[in-house]
Amino acid sequence: MNLHEESLIRSFIQPERRLRWLECLRSVKKRGRMLDRLNHCRDLDVRFAVVLPSNANIEDLLIARNAPDTCYVLSANDDIDGREMNLCDAIEQARLGGWGTLIGCIPNRLAYYYDECGERQMILERDA
C-alpha cells in the first residue's frame, strides 16, 4: 500500500471500515477481494459524497474543483489499479473497464467514485 491509497481510505471510507480496508489492501491475498467491494461500495463515507447524474461531465466537475492533470487510481480493474494516470485517461478507463474505481485527485480532499457499470458516480470532497 502506498500513501495515495492510505489517503483515499482514511478520507473517504466510513470510519468503522477504514482499518479493514487498510489491512486488506496491504495483503496480496486479500487485496483483490477488497477491491471487488468497489463494484457496489457501501463503505464510502457519504458525508463527503455528491451523487452525480449519468450524463455529468466528470472531468469538468473535477477540474472546477482544482483537480490536477495527474491522479491515483484504486480499482477492481487490474489494468488501472495502483497507477498514477492522466485524469482524463483514468476516467475514460474506469468507464471502459466497467469496474468499481476510486480516483484520487487531491490527497485527503478530492476524489471521484465510479460504481460497476456506472450505476453510481460520485464526487467525494472534504474541506481543506
> Which triple of cell numbers denotes residue 69?
492533470
Neighbours of 10 (CB within 10 A): 14
The residue-averaged pLDDT of 32-47 equals: 94
CA–CA separation, 106 vs 24, rounded Å? 23
pLDDT of residue 14: 98
pLDDT score of 107 more than 90: yes
pTM: 0.95
Helix 3-12 to helix 15-26 angle (10° resolution) is 160
- Of 84, 76, 86, nearest to 116 by C-alpha is 76
pLDDT score of 65 more than 80: yes
pLDDT score of 1 more than 80: no
